[in-house]
């Protein structure tokens, strides 16, 4: 008997299994997954071979371990295509990347996190690894702040349940302080996050709007803090705002008079 409003057990189990795979441990065996998920090893084995049949995981016959399969990339392609943003943005992102030589990301809201849906990596040796699909917190990233800044107060409140996690000593954990920070972001048109998520990592972000004037995403420039200080950010901000405006325009947004 499935619990009240709970999800189908199998779906949960599959999701748990797939979540075991990470960039750090891309190839894992049945027993490891079994231990991590608490599933019986025979169940794990059977579920994995089912997933393999669908191309969602792939088995390495050498090591008899599994890794995530390419069929997932196929599905993700459909998701990203739907958002449509990527195509609209690509040219402008490349310009921004060429100009700044730093990492460029586009992120959208997903629950109480933001997810990178596009990233162009800096050619510099020291760079922020903004992996596609990576989930980041809202309150201490530049893209997250933009998304927070332009949502309704209720929505924001809902997503900012104290205590705000302090990722570094610089993370803003006080709600009032963050609120002010966001107000400033709205005023100047872009948000900044200096060492707030990762010590040594700083970024600035600007909103992307669709035809409906809704902020649907944020575009950011990130780099090591020694290359992304307040002065440098100021300089980059003009380019960032220009890019975000051009992308928005392509989505049908035009500032009203």
**List of long-range contacts for 187-193, beta carbons under 8 Å, 24+ apart:** 188/237, 189/237, 189/241, 190/142, 190/146, 190/237, 190/240, 190/241, 191/142, 191/143, 191/145, 191/146, 191/149, 191/218, 192/142, 192/145, 192/230, 192/233, 193/140, 193/141, 193/142, 193/144, 193/145
Tell me which stretch binds a copy of itself (CB under 8 A): 43-51, 182-190, 210-218, 227-235. 43-51
Rg (CA), the chain: 21
Tell me which stretch binds DNA (CB under 7 A): 44-52, 86-94, 123-131, 195-203. 44-52
Rounded Cα gap, residues 112 and 17, in angstroms: 23
Q: Is 126 in the site for a copy of itself (CB under 8 A)?
A: no
Which listed residue (29, 59, 72, 179) binds a copy of itself by CB under 8 A? Answer: 72
Category of 210 on φ-ψ map: left (φ > 0), alpha (ψ -120 to 50) or beta: beta
Residue span 79-118 as binding mask against a copy of itself, x where in contact by CB under 8 A, dash where not: xxxx----x--xx--x--x----------x-xx---xxx-
Taking the least distance from each CB to a copy of itself, the nearer of 27 and 195 is 27
Rounded Cα gap, residues 1 and 249, in angstroms: 52
Residue span 7-26 as binding mask against DNA, x where in contact by CB under 7 A, dash where not: -xxx--x-------------
Q: In the window 141-200, what residues touch DNA (CB under 7 A)?
A: none
Q: Before 91, cis peptide (omega within 30)?
A: no
In the complex, the residues that contact DNA under the rule CB under 7 A are 1-2, 4-5, 8-10, 13, 29-32, 39-43, 45-49, 59, 64-65
Interface positions with a copy of itself (CB under 8 A): 2, 7-8, 10-12, 14-15, 18, 21-23, 26, 46-47, 49-51, 53-56, 67-82, 87, 90-91, 94, 97, 108, 110-111, 115-117, 120-121, 123, 131-135
């Amino acid at each position: 008997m499935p619990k009240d409003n709970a999800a189908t057990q199998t779906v949960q189990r599959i999701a748990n299994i797939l979540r075991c795979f990470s960039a750090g441990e891309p190839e894992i065996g049945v027993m490891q997954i079994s231990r991590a998920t608490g599933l019986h090893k025979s169940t794990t084995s059977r579920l994995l071979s089912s997933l393999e049949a669908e191309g969602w995981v792939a088995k390495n016959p050498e090591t008899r371990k599994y890794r995530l399969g390419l069929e997932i990339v196929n599905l993700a392609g459909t998701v990203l295509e739907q958002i449509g943003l990527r195509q609209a943005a690509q040219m402008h992102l490349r310009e921004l990347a060429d100009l700044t030589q730093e990492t460029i990301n586009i992120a959208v809201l997903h629950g109480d996190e933001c997810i990178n849906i596009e990233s162009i990596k800096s050619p510099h040796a020291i760079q922020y690894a903004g992996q596609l699909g990576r989930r980041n917190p809202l309150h201490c990233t530049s893209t997250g702040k933009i998304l927070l800044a332009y949502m309704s107060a209720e929505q924001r409140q809902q997503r900012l349940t104290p205590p705000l996690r302090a990722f570094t000593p610089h993370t803003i954990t006080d709600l009032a302080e963050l609120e002010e920070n966001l107000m400033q972001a709205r005023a100047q048109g872009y948000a900044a996050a200096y060492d707030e998520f990762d010590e040594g990592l700083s970024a600035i972000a600007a909103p992307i709007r669709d035809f409906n004037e809704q902020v649907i995403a944020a575009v950011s420039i990130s780099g090591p803090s020694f290359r992304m200080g307040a002065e440098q950010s100021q300089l980059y901000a003009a380019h960032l705002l220009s890019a975000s405006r051009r992308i928005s325009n392509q989505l049908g947004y035009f500032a009203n008079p």
